[in-house]
Amino acid sequence: MEVVSNKDKFRKKCYKVLKNAKKHSYIKDKHIQKHLSQMIKENKAKDIMAYIPLSNEVNIMPLLSLLRRQKLNIWVPFMEGKSFRLVKYRYPLRIKKYGIKEPNNSYKYRKKKIDIALVPIIGIDKTYKRVGFGKGMYDRFFEKEIKNIKKVVFVTRELCYSKDIVTDDYDVKADIVVTSKGVGF
């Protein structure tokens, strides 16, 4: 008999919300990118942790192109085992496990702190902690690196929110959430 946690039930509900949010996703994603760009500028961020989007995540690829033209340092996940480390965002991108795109391995290590970390989410609960895809990669990464990250920004098209606590102690907590409807917290 399989035991289904409250987090798993909530995650399934959120997948449905995100599937419906795909309608007009181009317009929603443009709004989100505008908010993120403004936030990066206001915070004078130079080192940004980003992600290369999956199909149900906010497409921030045009934002990444803009940030590259502005000569900002963009760092993206490079999967290693059950977690990841950050590598410099560069081309070519290749598809790896779970359909995740990433640059080739880079041995250029980040020496500075991350000013802003852009983190895709499925949903959040009342503690403002992340419900992700269920693999725990971001949780493992943040457990080691949170001291090096100034601001954590959750990114989603539509906010899926639980009034109950469905997250665990180790789940990542946001400083702010950006959706197609604006900026929250």
Reply yes or no: is the peptide bond before residue 120 cis, omega within 30 of 0.
no
For 64, what's the count of Cα atoms within 13 Å in the CB-facing half-sphere? 18
For residue 98, the model assigns a pLDDT of 72
106 φψ region: left (φ > 0), alpha (ψ -120 to 50), beta (else): beta
Phi-psi category of residue 28: left, alpha or beta, with phi > 0 → left and psi -120 to 50 → alpha: alpha
Q: How many CB atoms lie within 10 A of CB 149?
A: 19
Provide the terminal-to-terminal Cα distance of the chain, rounded to the nearest Å.
39
Tens-place pLDDT, residues 89-121? 988 888 887 778 888 777 666 667 999 999 999
pLDDT of residue 3: 42
pLDDT tens across 45-61, in order?
Answer: 999 999 999 888 999 99
Average pLDDT over residues 141-160: 94
Q: What is the mean pLDDT of residues 72-91?
A: 89
Beta carbons of 142 and 103 less than 8 angstroms apart: no
What pTM does this model have?
0.90
Domains recognised in the chain with CATH numbers? 6-184 (3.40.50.10420)
Rounded Cα gap, residues 18 and 57, in angstroms? 8
Q: What is the dihedral of CA 185, 14, 168, 166, to 10 degrees?
A: 90
